[in-house]
Amino acid sequence: MSGGVEWGLHCCVVLSGAGAPVPAAKLAELHDVSQSYLAKQLQLLSRAGLVRSSLGQAGGYVLTRSASEITVLDVIEAIDGAQPAFRCTEVRQRGPLATPAERCDTPCPIARVMAAADRAWRESLRGITIADLVADVSRTTPAEQLDRARAWLRA
């Protein structure tokens, strides 16, 4: 899985806490990552409609909807793409004992098993929202530190 997914999730968590647009440069500095590369991930989030960008001074990125309406899966699919990790190449239709295509109305058992596992994975991630992550962070970190983070974002 692309490493940018982690950055994208962290950014969404931060954006949900900030009340104003946050420029990409600030997000990059906060997480100590390459500004140019993070910009690429934010572009992907923007294309997927998860965040909205505003130009000019005091511009930056904002979530387009409530953090409770953005699932972790949304972010992953926005950055890594929505296609499943396993792609059946229809091996059974090749070689000397190839099954004719007309008999392949049902998917290959292997592909079916893989698809089921993929669904389980996605379902697990679809059940968690950015708001859940924020709640978890709020519970495990002292309030003083959260205030400091919010102040740093405004500055």
First to last CA, the chain: 34
* Binder of DNA out of 12, 16, 23, 77 (CB under 7 A): 23
Q: Which stretch binds DNA (CB under 7 A): 34-42, 65-73, 108-116, 132-140?
A: 34-42
Asked if 53 interacts with DNA (CB under 7 A), we say yes
Least Cβ distance, residue 27 to a second copy (angstroms): 10
User: Are 81 and 5 a contacting pair, CB within 8 Å?
Assistant: no
Asked if 101 interacts with a second copy (CB under 8 A), we say no
The type of residue at 116 is: A
Asked if 3 interacts with a second copy (CB under 8 A), we say yes
**DSSP string computed for 18-36:** -SS-B-HHHHHHHHT--HH
Burial classification of residue 15, based on how many CB atoms lie within 10 Å of its CB (0-12 exposed, 13-18 middle, 19 or more buried): buried
Quick note: the x/- pattern for DNA over 70-89, rule CB under 7 A, is ----------x---------
- Number of residues interacting with DNA: please give it, by CB under 7 A: 26
* Binder of a second copy out of 56, 96, 102, 143 (CB under 8 A): 96
Least Cβ distance, residue 89 to DNA (angstroms): 10
* Binder of a second copy out of 25, 89, 101, 147 (CB under 8 A): 89
The type of residue at 141 is: T
Structure tokens at 63: 């979530």
R_g over Cα of the chain = 20
